Amino acid sequence: MNRSELINIIKQKKSFLCVGLDSDIEKLPQHLLKEEDPIFEFNKQIIDATLPYAAAYKPNTAFYESNGVKGMMSLKKTMDYLASKRNECFVIADAKRGDIGNTSKQYAKAFLSPEGDFDFDAITVAPYMGKDSVSPFFTYENKWVILLALTSNEGAADFQYFESQDVKLFEKVLTTAQQWGTKENLMFVCGATKAEKFTEIRKLAPEHFLLVPGVGAQGGSLKEVCKYGLNKDCGLLVNSSRGIIFADKSEDFAKVAGEKARELQEEMASYLK
């Protein structure tokens, strides 16, 4: 999906909500465990209930890999199910990959190749190994790298604020990576728990889309993120995972997830005005 298609979805739905499919099998509603593939059944119902309100979905690969080969089958089924809805939503592999060029090329094939099992629109990538670990992900047309810049967790402070001559590491990532990709194929992960940093981030990356985790369970404020993070094309995808998908564990889980997504969508619509 290219940038203008993504912006159109956001405009149509009045939403820049990304629903995180962190579908932990230990947290699924009990009644789904009798299904042949509980994770896929869960995702399918979540997608059906939230699609009118969500601009994007973001399966986190960890929650599939933790079920081994069977989990990867659940991920494949989820992607097959989303295939018929691909002009209605942007789909991100939250995989945080990155390796030497020869190897990143294989990860790019795994997650972005239209001929592969997973054909995502975008993949999250870790910057530590530098340019040749990131570049192979730019090979596929209309596919995106979403590079970690400032993450939402406590450990972000360990290295991301490491500072040289008044430049912090996450700022160096933001500026350096703009030599590798453009606003048409590169986004950055910037955590909602650091909303006060968005002014500074927007100075360094005014036009790029930002994928913003940390609203909801991790405590970030949507209002604050929008205040400092929105740009003229919206420029944000704000993720909520646990706050939507595990809001209810009864047989009504999908309905409640849809309501939670609608609440966020309505709040987002008010900021988009």
Q: Could you list the active site residues?
A: 96
CB of 171 to a second copy, least distance (A): 11
Which of 33, 83, 100, 206 is close enough to bind a second copy by CB under 8 A?
100
List, in order, residues 6 or more apart from 124 with CB less than 8 Å away. 92, 93, 94, 95, 96, 97, 146, 147, 148, 189, 211
Task: Choose the binding region for a second copy from 60-68, 82-90, 224-232, 259-267 (rule: CB under 8 A).
Answer: 60-68
List, in order, residues 6 or more apart from 112 with CB less than 8 Å away. 118, 119, 120, 122, 123, 137, 139, 140, 143
CB of 69 to a second copy, least distance (A): 5
Q: Is 243 in the site for a second copy (CB under 8 A)?
A: no
Q: Is 251 in the site for a second copy (CB under 8 A)?
A: no
How does 173-197 read in b/e, with b if 16+ C-beta sit within 10 Å? bbeebbebbeeebbbbbbbbbbbeb
Which of 55, 146, 148, 192 is close enough to bind a second copy by CB under 8 A?
148
Give the CB-side neighbour count of residue 181, counting CA atoms within 13 A: 33
Task: Choose the binding region for a second copy from 100-108, 204-212, 223-231, 264-272 (rule: CB under 8 A).
Answer: 100-108
Q: Is 26 exposed, middle or buried (0-12, 13-18, 19+ CB in 10 A)?
A: exposed
Q: Is 34 in the site for a second copy (CB under 8 A)?
A: no
Local structure of residue 92 (DSSP, 8 states): E
Q: Is 132 in the site for a second copy (CB under 8 A)?
A: yes
The contact mask relative to a second copy for 160-189 (x = CB under 8 A, - = no) is x-xxx----x--xx--x-------------
SS3 133: helix
Owner of token pair 């009990």: 30
Cα distance between residue 94 and residue 101, in whole Å:
19
Task: Choose the binding region for a second copy from 3-11, 82-90, 130-138, 258-266 (rule: CB under 8 A).
Answer: 130-138
Which of 128, 182, 199, 203 is close enough to bind a second copy by CB under 8 A?
128
Judge contact between 93 and 137, C-beta under 8 A: no
Residues that bind a second copy (CB under 8 A): 22, 24, 60, 62-63, 65-73, 76, 94, 96-104, 106-107, 109-111, 116-118, 126-134, 148, 151-160, 162-164, 169, 172-173, 176, 213, 218
